[in-house]
Amino acid sequence: MAVQRTLSIIKPDATRRNLTGKIIAKFEDAGLRVVAQKRIRLTKEEAGRFYAVHRERPFYDELCEFMASAPIVVQVLEGEDAIAKNREVMGATDPAEAAEGTIRKEFALSKGENSVHGSDAPETAAEEIRFFFSELEIVG
């Protein structure tokens, strides 16, 4: 299995409740390493560009409002099979369907306010990492 990098976001519902450290511990316990990280506040327009793939979905406007509603922590996670591993640690989109021990099961408030984002494939991971970080900011 190859070492990969993936883009992770700790979302506004989690930063608001001061859960950043608890969420990072879940990643580290799963063998993922934080190789870049910053706390930022997106505008609604920036959130819209990040989630452009969901433009046609009924929840798009709500999602952009939410992502701009408080600071987020964006991270690059590195490790063996990092993309799938991160999504496993995150759990299902809807916390009602998330497995025991996952971040979304423990912390998410709803399907929308679900505490974390993680890239879903190598191509999207590369694109999403570029959206937030320059090469110089990623230190493995």
32 binds ligand GDP (CB under 6 A): no
Q: Is 59 in the site for ligand GDP (CB under 6 A)?
A: yes
Residue 3: DSSP 8-state: E
Restricting to residues 106-135, name those near ligand GDP by CB under 6 A: 111-112, 114, 117, 120
| CA dist., res. 72 & res. 50, Å (int) | 13
Q: Contact with ligand GDP (CB under 6 A): which of 93, 97, 121, 139?
A: 93
The distance of closest approach from Cβ of residue 120 to ligand GDP in the complex, given in angstroms and rounded to an integer, is 6
| Termini Cα distance of the chain | 18
Is 117 among the catalytic positions? yes
Q: Residue 100 CB, nearest distance to ligand GDP (Å)?
A: 17
DSSP codes, 46-73: HHHHHTGGGTTSTTHHHHHHHHTSS-EE
Residues that are catalytic: 117
